[in-house]
Amino acid sequence: MIHLSDKGYSSKQISQYFNDSNIKTPKGLEYYPTLVWTTLSKYRKRQHRFTTDKLVQLKETLVVVPYRPNP
């Protein structure tokens, strides 16, 4: 689906392509343009989340270790 979209296919064209090729949804139904658009939108948002780095929480602590020379 993403490859067809990257080639410039619209959601309507992708759904027609899948239905003409007898490719069903995971639930066994036919594709329709809104489903294709939603699927692509969720996929792109997921890819953006995984490629965007952000610092959620940073906690620093100071640890002091006594110096003990070797005898």
Residue 14, H or E segment: helix 11-20
pLDDT at 12: 97
Q: Where are the domains of the chain?
A: 2-51
> DSSP letters along 15-46, please?
HHHHHHTTPPPTTS----HHHHHHHHHHHHHH
pLDDT at 68: 85
Q: What pLDDT digit, counting tens, does each position of 4-51 carry?
A: 999 999 999 999 999 999 999 999 999 999 999 999 999 999 998 888
Q: What pLDDT digit, counting tens, does each position of 57-71 carry?
A: 778 888 888 888 876
pLDDT at 69: 83
Q: How far, in Å, CA of 7 to CA of 1, rounded?
A: 10
